[in-house]
Amino acid sequence: MRGKALGLWAAAIGALALAFGLPLFVETFFLVELTVYVVMAILALSLALVWGSAGILNFGQSAFFGLGGYAYTIAVMNMGDSTVPILIGIAVPAVFAVVTGYFLFYGRVSDIYLGTITLCVSLIFFNLINSSGAEYRIGIAPLGGNNGIPGVPPLNVPGNPERPLDFDEMYMLSMVVLVLVYLGLHWLLATRFGRVAVAIRENELRAELLGYDARLVKLAMFTIGAGIAGLSGVLFAAWGSFIGPTMFSIFFTAQIIIWIMVGGLGTLAGAVAGAVLIQWLTTWLGETKIADTNIVLGAIFVVFVLLVPRGIQPTIARWLAR
C-alpha cells in the first residue's frame, strides 16, 4: 500500500514537472494540441469514476460535458470575467445530475434502462441545440444552432478579464487540473465513502443488507462525475474558443466509452491512457484520411471487448505481476 502511494505521488510530481517544464522546450502549436488531450483525459476520469468505480452504466457522460461547456460560454459572454462562469459550468451539470439521478436511482431503474435513458438525454440535448437558430439568445449569447458558438472568450486571471491566459498557461492550467482531479479521485476511492461505492458496484443487495443507502451513494458519485465532466467542458470551450452541438452527439458519446474500455474499466490511470491514445488516433486518422474514423474505432472496440476485455492498464499490470 505504501509503495502504491509513493508511486502515485511520483506520477503526480512527474506530471507537474511536465506541465511547467515542457513549455520551455516545445513550440506553442504542440502545446495547443496537447492541451485537448489533457482535457479529454479529465473527461475520461469522470466516466472512470461513474462507470468503473461506481458501476453506473452511463452512456450520456457527453451530456454533462456539453452542459458545462455551454453553461460556461453563455455565462462568460454575459459577464465578461471567467471566474464565476467556471463555477457555473461545473454547477449546472452537477445540478442536472442530481435531478436526473434522483429519478433514476430512487426509481430503481435497472442498469440497461439507465444506460438507455442517459443516452437518450444526450441525444435530446443534441437535437435541441442543433435545431435552435441564431435568433435564440440567452442574454447577449446566441445559441447558434448547428453552427455552434464561435468566439468563446478564453479563461482569464481571476477577477481580471483584461488578462486572458495564453496558450502556454492554458496548457499548464489543464495539466494542474488533471493532476488534482486524478489525486482527488484516488483519495475519494480510498475513503470509507469510496469503498462503499465500490462495494455497491460489486454487490448492491449485500451492501444494502449491511445498512448502506445504495441510492444515495450512487447519486453522489453520479453528481461528482457530472461536475468533473462539466469542468472538462469548460476547459474545452475555452481552449478551442468554440462550442457546438457535436459535444452531445452519439459519436462523441461512444468515443468516451471506448476510452474507458481501451484503458481499462475500473482504473483511473487506464482512463487517462485510453483517452490520450484514442484521441491521438482520431486526430491522426482525420489528418491522414487513411481510413474512416468511425470504422476504426468500432473495430478497436470489438477487439478489446473480445480479446482484451480488461483493457491496457490492467493487462500490462497482470503481465508485470507474472
Cβ-in-10-Å burial (0-12, 13-18, 19+) of 2 comes to exposed
Nearest to 181 by CA among 269, 68, 289: 269
Is 1 inside a domain boundary? no
Is 5 inside a domain boundary? no
Q: Are residues 253 and 312 in the same domain?
A: yes
Q: Are residues 223 and 296 in the same domain?
A: no
Is 240 inside a domain boundary? yes
* Spatial distance between the Cα atoms of 301 and 282, rounded to a whole number of angstroms: 14
Q: Are residues 191 and 261 in the same domain?
A: no
* Spatial distance between the Cα atoms of 228 and 61, rounded to a whole number of angstroms: 10
Is 51 inside a domain boundary? yes
Q: Which residue range is the domain that position 228 belongs to?
A: 12-247
Q: Are residues 184 and 311 in the same domain?
A: no
Q: Are residues 110 and 157 in the same domain?
A: yes
Average pLDDT value for residue range 154-176: 91
pLDDT of residue 98: 96
Nearest to 155 by CA among 94, 69, 220: 69
Q: Are residues 179 and 299 in the same domain?
A: no
Give yes or no for residue 147 having a pLDDT over 60: yes
Is 7 inside a domain boundary? no
Q: Are residues 222 and 123 in the same domain?
A: yes
Q: What percent of the chain has pLDDT over 70?
A: 98
Is 34 inside a domain boundary? yes
Is 58 inside a domain boundary? yes
Domain-ending residue, one of 212, 247, 282: 247
Give yes or no for residue 117 having a pLDDT over 80: yes
Can you state the angle between helices 268-288 and 293-306, rounded to 10 degrees? 150
Q: Are residues 242 and 287 in the same domain?
A: no
pLDDT of residue 322: 76
Encoded amino acid at 72, one letter: Y
Is 307 inside a domain boundary? yes
Give yes or no for residue 225 having a pLDDT over 60: yes
Give yes or no for residue 313 having a pLDDT over 80: yes
Domain-ending residue, one of 223, 247, 271: 247
Of 305 and 233, which is predicted with more confidence? 233
Cell numbers linked to 275 = 483517452
- Sequence-distant (6+) residues with CB within 8 A of 3 are none
Q: Are residues 188 and 318 in the same domain?
A: no
Q: Are residues 202 and 310 in the same domain?
A: no
Q: Are residues 129 and 180 in the same domain?
A: yes
At residue 8, φ and ψ (nearest 5 deg) are: -65, -45
Give yes or no for residue 3 having a pLDDT over 70: no
Q: Are residues 319 and 174 in the same domain?
A: no
Highest mean pLDDT: which of 12-16, 147-151, 223-227?
223-227
- pLDDT tens track for 243-300: 999 899 888 988 999 999 999 988 999 999 999 999 999 989 888 888 888 899 989 9
Overall number of domains in the chain = 2
**What's the chain's average pLDDT?**
90
pLDDT of residue 82: 92
* Spatial distance between the Cα atoms of 66 and 236, rounded to a whole number of angstroms: 10
Q: What percent of the chain has pLDDT over 90?
A: 56
Domain-ending residue, one of 213, 247, 281: 247
